[in-house]
Structure 1
Amino acid sequence: MELEVRHLRVLCAIEDTGSLHKAARALGMSQPSLTTQLRRIETWLGGRLFTRGRTGCRPTPLGHVLLARARPLVDGMRALVDETRAAAAATAEPEDRLRIGSTASRALPGWLRRLRAGVAERGGAEPTLRMDVSSHALLRQVADGRLDVAFVHEVEGSPLRMPPGLVCRVLVEREPQFVSLAADHPAARRRVVRLADLARDRWMVDPTVDGEWDGLLRALRAAGIAPRILHGDYLTAASLVATGEVVTLCQPTSRPRPDMAVRPLDGDPVGVRLLLAARTEAALDAVHDELRAAYREAARQAPAYRRRLGEP
C-alpha cells in the first residue's frame, strides 16, 4: 500500500467533521468502507491516527503530525481541481448566471421565483441551485468560486468557520426552532410545548447538519432530559414523526399536516441565525431583498410561526 492524496483527503475529512459518520457522508461513501480504509492506513503507518469516543474522533499525537503535512497537499490539490472546474464552467455557462447554494428552507421556492422573474425582465440566464445540509460545505464553495452566494444557517452555540474573503449579511438574527410531533401526541394539544412534555419521546436528528445535534443536546440537558436519539435524515424523520415514533426539531416556517403538528418550544431553547454569504457586497445586494421577501412570505404561510410573530 502507498499513501495517496485520496487517503490524505479521508484523514482531513475525519478531522474536519470529528466523526466517521459525517466524514463518510461528506466523502460520498459508507461508514464501514471509511472505517476499513482508516484501519488500513493506520496499519500501514504503524500507529493510530485518531481516538474514537462518544464525543467523536480526535487526532492522536501521531495524527496531528501527519495532518500538519497532509493538509497543505490536500488543499493544493483541491485548489487545482477547483481552478480547473471554474475555468471549464466559465467557458460553458453564461457569465451572468447566478449560482446559488442553500441549506433547506421554506423560503427557497419564493426566492427562486422572484429571482427568475427579475432575470426574465433583463433577459439573462436563470439561476442555478445547489443544496447541501452542511453550511460549511456551501461556504467553502462560495470561497472557492464555485458558488456566487450561499444562504446558510448557524446554530446558536456552534459558530460557523467563515472562510477568509467572504462577506455576510444577517437575514434573521435568531430564528427559534420549533418541534414537529404527531398530530395525536398529547403535547400537540398545547399552543406552546415544553421540553418536559417530550421527556419520554425519542428524538430524531440528522448528525450531518452542522451544529444541530449539539444545539439540541445542550437544550435537552439544560432541561434535565437524558434524550433517546435516533439518527436519520429529515425525509425519514417526517414519516416517523407522523406515526408517533419520534419528535424532531423543525424550522418555524414548517407547515402542519393532518398527521403532524408544528409547535413552538417554550422559551425558544434552540435558535438559529440565518445568513447570506458571498465574496462581494454587490453579490449580496443582487439577492438579499428577494430572499427577505420570500422568507416573510413563508413565515406568513406557517400558522404557528405567524402567531409567534404576532401577525394576523
Structure 2
Amino acid sequence: MDLEVRHLRVVCAIGEAGSITRAAARLGVAQPTLTAQLSRIERMLGGPLFVRTRQGAAPTALGEFVLAKARSVIVSFDAIQREAAAQVGFMDGRRPLRYTANPGPLMVGLLDGLQSVFPGTEVTLRTETHMSAALTLVASGQQDLGTVVEYVRDDVPTLPPGVVTLTVATEPAFVLLPDGHPLAALPQVGIAQLRDARWVLPVSQGSGMMEAFTALCAGQGFTATVRHEAEASAARELIAAGQAVGLGQATFRSTPGVVPRPLTGSPLRIRHVLVWRRGSALARRIPSVAERAERAYADAVARSPHYLAWLTEHAALE
C-alpha cells in the first residue's frame, strides 16, 4: 500500500488533537478504526509516530518529522485543488467569471463583451483604484481577468509572476480645467502655462501618474502645487467649483463645469491594459476578449467629443 494524502491528514488530525480519541471524534470515525489506520500508516513509514501518554498522544521524533512534511504537503495539495477548480469553474458555469478593473472606459464597458465571449457564465466586477491591487488579485487567482490603467513612463513596473498583459489602447492624458479658467478657451494647453495652478490629483494609485507628471513639470523647470488629493468624483467637483485643475483620461466623460483640453505635444500618455494569468483556462480566449475590449474602448471614444476632435488632427497613439 502506498502513502496517500488521506493518510497524512490522519496523522495531522492526531497531531493537532493531541489524542487519538479526540481526533477520531473530529474525523467522525470510531476510535478503534482510527487506531487501526494509524498502525497501518506507521508500518508504511517504518516506525511509531506517536507514543500514548496519560494526556493523549505525543509525537515521536519520526512523528515530528512526518507532521512537518505532511502539513506542507497538505497545504500544497489543497492549493492545487482550489486553483484547479478556479481555473475551470467559470468555463462550465459552476462559478462566475471574476473581473477586476481600474476606473476607465473598460471597467463597465467590457462587461457585455465578456458575457458574449462566455455565454451562460455570470460575470462579476470588482473595482480597484490601485493598479497593483488589481494585478495582485489576478496573480493570486482571486480574480480571473483584469483591466488596468497606467501612465507610460521610462521605469516600467515589474509584473507579479505569472501575469500576462496586452495593451488595448494608448491615449493622451488631458488637462481638466474649470469652465471659467482663462486657458479653457484655448484648443490645447502647454504644461508650462499651468506652473502657477493649484492641482487636484488622486492619491497614489500605482499607475505611474505622479511619477510621469512630476517628471514632466520638472522638465519645464517647475514643481506643481498639488493642493488636493481626491478620488475622481471629488476631483471633478473641485475642478467644476474653480478650486483646482486636474488630469484625466482622453475618454473622460463630459462633466458640467469641467473642460478637458489636450496637452501640447501629448507629453503624458495612458495605456489601457488587459491582464490575466499565464496558463489559465481563460488564456486561450484572450483574442476574443481583446476584440471585445477594443470595441468597448471605441464606444467610449465615440462618446468623448473632445477626444474625437483631437483625433481628427492627430493620429491615434501607438
TM-score (norm 1): 0.66
Write the letter of the residue equivalent to 1:169: L
Write the letter of the residue equivalent to 2:287: D
The aligned counterpart of 1:50 is none
Rounded to whole Å, the distance in 2 between the matches of 1:153 and 1:161 is 15
Rounded to whole Å, the distance in 2 between the matches of 1:304 and 1:86 is 47
Q: Deviation at 1:164?
A: 1.5
The aligned counterpart of 1:228 is 225
244-253 or 270-279: which moved more?
270-279
1:175 aligned counterpart, secondary structure: strand
Q: Does 1:245 align with 2:247?
A: no
Query: Paired residue for 1:159, among 156, 159, 176?
Result: 156
Rounded to whole Å, the distance in 2 between the matches of 1:278 and 1:92 is 16
Q: Deviation at 1:136?
A: 1.3
Write the letter of the residue equivalent to 1:232: A
154-163 or 129-138: which moved more?
154-163
The aligned counterpart of 1:175 is 171
Contact 2:113 2:289 in 1 (8 A): no
The aligned counterpart of 2:130 is 134
Count of equivalent residues: 229
2:273 aligned counterpart, secondary structure: strand
Contact 2:249 2:270 in 1 (8 A): no
Rounded to whole Å, the distance in 2 between the matches of 1:128 and 1:221 is 42
Q: Deviation at 1:293?
A: 0.2
Instruction: Calculate percent identity across the aligned residue pairs.
Output: 29
The aligned counterpart of 2:253 is 255
The aligned counterpart of 1:115 is 114
The aligned counterpart of 1:268 is 266
Write the letter of the residue equivalent to 1:300: A
Q: Deviation at 1:86?
A: 5.0
The aligned counterpart of 1:295 is 297
Greater CA radius of gyration, 1 or 2? 2
Change (3 A) 1:288 1:257: same
The aligned counterpart of 1:200 is 196
TM-score (norm 2): 0.65
Rounded to whole Å, the distance in 1 between the matches of 2:141 and 2:284 is 15
Rounded to whole Å, the distance in 1 between the matches of 2:264 and 2:81 is 48
Rounded to whole Å, the distance in 2 between the matches of 1:86 and 1:179 is 45
Q: Does 1:144 align with 2:144?
A: no
Q: Deviation at 1:303?
A: 1.0
The aligned counterpart of 1:185 is 181
Rounded to whole Å, the distance in 2 between the matches of 1:96 and 1:288 is 22
The aligned counterpart of 2:307 is 305
Question: Which runs of no fewer than 5 residues in structure 1 stay unpaired?
Answer: 1-75
Contact 1:136 1:161 in 2 (8 A): no
Rounded to whole Å, the distance in 2 between the matches of 1:251 and 1:268 is 12
The aligned counterpart of 1:42 is none
Rounded to whole Å, the distance in 2 between the matches of 1:85 and 1:267 is 52
Contact 2:128 2:134 in 1 (8 A): yes
The aligned counterpart of 1:12 is none
Rounded to whole Å, the distance in 2 between the matches of 1:233 and 1:308 is 26
2:110 aligned counterpart, secondary structure: helix
1:163 aligned counterpart, secondary structure: coil
Contact 2:203 2:229 in 1 (8 A): yes
- What RMSD, in angstroms, separates the aligned Cα atoms of the two structures? 2.8
Rounded to whole Å, the distance in 2 between the matches of 1:274 and 1:85 is 33
Question: Which runs of no fewer than 5 residues in structure 2 stay unpaired?
Answer: 1-71, 314-318
1:162 aligned counterpart, secondary structure: coil
Rounded to whole Å, the distance in 2 between the matches of 1:159 and 1:190 is 33
Contact 2:189 2:261 in 1 (8 A): yes
Contact 1:176 1:272 in 2 (8 A): yes
Contact 1:108 1:294 in 2 (8 A): no
Q: Deviation at 1:306?
A: 0.8
Q: Deviation at 1:96?
A: 5.5
Write the letter of the residue equivalent to 1:178: F
* 1:259-297 CA-partner distances (Å, limit 9, x unpaired): 111111111121122221111431423421111100011
